[in-house]
Amino acid sequence: MIAADPCRILVLTGAAAPFSRTRSVAELVCRATASIGSTSVLRDLAEHTLPLLHTDPDGSSALYDLRTQAEQADGMVWVTPCYHGSYSGLLKNCLDHLHAEALRGKPVGVVTVGASLTAVQASEHLRAVARALGCVTAPTQAVVVDENSTWGKDTDPGARNRITRMIAELHALAGATALLRQCAAIADPLLSIDHGPAT
């Protein structure tokens, strides 16, 4: 258990394959979260399907739930398979539905699962998305490449350690970024004020 207050972590996992390794790694992230005394909500995007962006003007209840979970979370972990050098389309569609106004200053950890170390590219791409949403990424990321392991049992200890360290960093960042989130709450309404023509 670490000293900061317990926090709520939303774990988003974006893989639709049967017997998905990514899903198993996401469960490992949840166990790592529990091991430091925090709670997690696992949202499997293959089970909770979302409409494609801009195809559901009335908004689905799944979309409402997603946004509420993201707003209520103290931090998030995005877990994705690597497909053709990047993260999954399932996760991309989900992230496109989130609003920077609600997430600015929120800590995010990224975990990618792949067949080789090229999967690290997906982590870099997710970091760029986190930046676009105004989120703060944990310094540690995990890239899981051991194709033959059974997740949860014989997981590569290096990847396990990185996931645990990343969760501990999210925990610390959740406290450290509280002021940042307050700044965003003050500054965002100011951005919408019309200051008149620029001189």
Ligand X SMILES: Cc1cc2nc3c(=O)[nH]c(=O)nc-3n(C[C@H](O)[C@H](O)[C@H](O)COP(=O)(O)O)c2cc1C
Q: Which is nearer to ligand X, 22 or 155 (CB)?
A: 22
* Residues 24-63 contacting ligand X, CB under 6 A: none
The verdict on 14 binding ligand X (CB under 6 A) reads: no
The dihedral of CA 103, 11, 15, 117: what is its sign?
positive
Q: Name, in order, each residue with C-beta under 8 angstroms of 84's C-beta and a sequence gap of 6 or more.
A: none
Q: Under DSSP, is residue 125 helix (H, G, I), strand (E, B) or coil?
A: helix
Q: Under DSSP, is residue 109 helix (H, G, I), strand (E, B) or coil?
A: strand
Q: How far is the CB of 34 from ligand X (least distance, A)?
A: 22
Q: Which of 119, 130, 138, 167: binder of ligand X (CB under 6 A)?
A: 119
* Residues 64-103 contacting ligand X, CB under 6 A: 81-85
Q: Measure Cα distances from 17 to 21, 29, 102 in Å.
A: 9, 19, 30
Measuring CA to CA, which residue among 164, 80, 90, 158 is closest to residue 114?
A: 80
Q: How far is the CB of 156 from ligand X (least distance, A)?
A: 13
The dihedral of CA 65, 71, 72, 78: what is its sign?
positive
Q: How far is the CB of 48 from ligand X (least distance, A)?
A: 16
Q: Which is nearer to ligand X, 91 or 173 (CB)?
A: 91
DSSP string spanning 54-88? TS-TT--HHHHHHHHHHHH-SEEEEEEE-BTTB--
Q: How far is the CB of 32 from ligand X (least distance, A)?
A: 18
Residue 39's H or E segment, with its range, is strand 39-44
Q: Which of 2, 5, 17, 52: binder of ligand X (CB under 6 A)?
A: 17
Q: How far is the CB of 147 from ligand X (least distance, A)?
A: 7
- Per-residue interface string for the shown chain with ligand X, residues 139-178, x marking contact by CB under 6 A: ----------------------------------------
Binding-residue total with ligand X (CB under 6 A): 16
Q: How far is the CB of 143 from ligand X (least distance, A)?
A: 9
- Name the site residues for ligand X (rule: CB under 6 A): 15, 17, 20-22, 81-85, 113-116, 118-119
